[in-house]
């Protein structure tokens, strides 16, 4: 306690040097928190857009369907199976899906496409598919009088076939039983943009897709959405324990390339942040060293009256750490409102960025303990490290040489 009081008195006595140090360290802390907040907030926003666009937070399949997708690898779809998943407190929605490669025809035009069968109600709860309808309407209408089922086409498919809402499209594929699947569907909507992920998709209502592929009562996938994306690994393990015959994959496993690119980018930003803080603390080291040199006589007197070198070393360390703590407090007060504004409001980018087929158009922040605690730990660590050389210098001061200048 005596060291703390003495260190605090010395800090107050060196007003100008203390002010410069506080400005440098608090500015570095505030800049680090803001940079980390924007980085984490942007990544969370991108991941939220990516997972709600098509992957979901978790995917449940039969065996190795994710690695080797085949039409016949369908799992039995039942209310009981869905309830076992939705009953978990962290699960927000579950959407069943079926997939198949198809050949789409209209007039003399044809093009390959990806068929996706969705439950109109559950898919709306889980993903943004309904919000991506550019023309026409989502699966709300009943089949036409001639019993023709509705379909939604990706924009590139529609452009390749030169068709639009209200026209017919013919789909040809292979059923799960090995038969030839073919039927005519009415185009009720166009989805996405020419460059979006779903530009080459054809969407059918679940029952129509199951009939088309001869998959009555079976689906290829359950897309699971959670309330908190940070819980994906824990929820995946819980679902695997409940559904032992099925395979559960997180969005990181479903899209490993996207995930690895995001992690690489995050590591690069963290390195940049460390470099900024290192530069700040080079200045702090110089300030502390100058302070020690100016107080040579003071340390000599302390040594002459019996203070041990370790006590003087501890005094320098305590002073530096106290400056760091005060700087963190000031920096947090200054930057917290700014981070809160970025988290709640953010700002639009002048030119949207395409990341993994997702248009990222808004910069958001993240107001969390990690944003404030991580820079605090780094700054306290750096403060401790930069206090060691000046502390050693002060501890080695000779009382005779120091007092000879008095």
Question: What is the mean pLDDT, run by run of 10 residues, along the chain of 406 residues?
Answer: 54 61 79 85 81 87 89 90 89 93 90 93 88 86 67 91 90 90 91 82 93 92 90 90 90 86 79 77 70 65 70 79 84 90 78 59 80 87 80 71 57
Closest CA to 182 of 283, 263, 71, 104: 104
Distance CA 286, CA 266 (A): 31
Give the model's pLDDT for residue 21.
73
Residue 104 contacts residue 170 (beta carbons within 8 Å): yes
Q: Facing residues of 133 across strands?
A: 191
Same domain for 377 and 309: yes
Same domain for 196 and 265: no
Same domain for 288 and 179: no
Question: How many independent structural domains does the chain possess?
Answer: 2
Same domain for 80 and 161: yes
Torsions phi, psi of 96, nearest 5? Answer: -80, 150
237, part of any domain: no
228, part of any domain: no
Same domain for 278 and 148: no
Residue that is last in its domain, among 219, 238, 270: 219
Same domain for 300 and 263: yes
The neighbour count for residue 379, using CB atoms within 10 Å, is: 24
3-state secondary structure of 369: helix
Same domain for 392 and 275: yes
5-10: list long-range contacts, CB under 8 Å, 24+ apart.
6/315, 7/315, 7/318, 7/319, 7/322, 8/322, 10/295, 10/315, 10/319
Q: Which helix (H) or strand (E) holds 290?
A: helix 256-294
C-alpha angle 312-403-18 in degrees, rounded to nearest 5: 50
Break the chain down into helix, strand, coil percent, rounded to 5: 55, 25, 20
Global confidence as pTM: 0.75
Query: Which domain does 266 fall in, by range?
Result: 2-51+259-403
Enumerate residues 6+ apart whose C-beta is below 8 A from 248: 58, 59, 60, 236, 237, 239, 240
Residue 58 contacts residue 235 (beta carbons within 8 Å): yes
239, part of any domain: no
Give the model's pLDDT for residue 229.
84
Same domain for 76 and 46: no
229, part of any domain: no
246, part of any domain: no
Distance CA 109, CA 333 (A): 64
Give the model's pLDDT for residue 389.
78
Same domain for 329 and 296: yes
Same domain for 344 and 205: no
Same domain for 285 and 181: no
Give the model's pLDDT for residue 209.
93
C-alpha angle 21-27-29 in degrees, rounded to nearest 5: 100
Residue 93 contacts residue 122 (beta carbons within 8 Å): yes
Same domain for 215 and 74: yes
248, part of any domain: no
Q: Facing residues of 226 across strands?
A: 91
């Amino acid at each position: 306690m005596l060291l703390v009081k003495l260190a605090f008195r010395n800090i107050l006595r060196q007003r100008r040097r203390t002010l410069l140090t506080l400005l440098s360290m608090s500015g570095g802390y505030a800049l680090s928190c803001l940079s980390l907040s924007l980085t984490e907030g942007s990544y969370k926003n991108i991941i939220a857009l990516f997972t709600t666009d098509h992957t979901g937070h978790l995917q449940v399949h039969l065996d190795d369907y994710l690695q080797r997708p085949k039409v016949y690898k369908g799992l039995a779809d039942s209310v009981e199976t869905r309830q076992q998943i939705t009953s978990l407190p962290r699960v927000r929605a579950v959407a069943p899906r079926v997939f198949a490669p198809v050949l789409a025809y209209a007039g003399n035009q044809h093009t390959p496409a990806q068929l996706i069968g969705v439950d109109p109600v559950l898919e709306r709860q889980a993903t943004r598919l309904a919000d991506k309808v550019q023309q026409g309407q989502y699966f709300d209408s009943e089949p036409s009088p001639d019993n023709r089922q509705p379909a939604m086409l990706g924009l590139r498919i529609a452009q390749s076939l030169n068709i639009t809402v209200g026209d017919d499209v013919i789909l040809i594929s292979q059923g799960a039983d090995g038969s030839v699947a073919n039927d005519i569907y009415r185009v009720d909507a166009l989805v996405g943009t020419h460059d979006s992920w779903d530009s080459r998709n054809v969407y059918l209502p679940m029952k129509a897709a199951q009939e088309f592929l001869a998959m009555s009562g079976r689906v290829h996938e359950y897309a699971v959405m959670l309330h908190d994306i940070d819980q994906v690994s824990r929820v995946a393990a819980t679902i695997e324990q409940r559904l032992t015959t099925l395979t559960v994959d997180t969005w990181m496993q479903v899209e490993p390339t996207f995930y690895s690119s995001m992690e690489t980018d995050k590591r690069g930003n963290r390195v940049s942040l460390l470099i900024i803080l290192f530069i700040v603390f080079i200045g702090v080291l110089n300030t502390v060293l100058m302070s020690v040199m100016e107080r040579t006589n003071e340390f000599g007197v302390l040594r002459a009256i019996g203070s041990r070198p370790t006590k003087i070393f501890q005094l320098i360390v305590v002073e530096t750490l106290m400056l760091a703590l005060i700087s963190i407090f000031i920096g947090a007060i200054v930057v917290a409102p700014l981070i809160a504004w970025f988290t709640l409001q953010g700002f639009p980018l002048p030119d949207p960025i395409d990341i993994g087929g997702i248009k990222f158009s808004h910069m958001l922040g993240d107001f969390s303990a990690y944003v404030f605690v991580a820079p605090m730990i780094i700054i306290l660590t750096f403060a401790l490290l930069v206090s060691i050389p000046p502390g050693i210098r002060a501890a080695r001061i000779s009382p005779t040489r120091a007092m000879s200048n008095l």
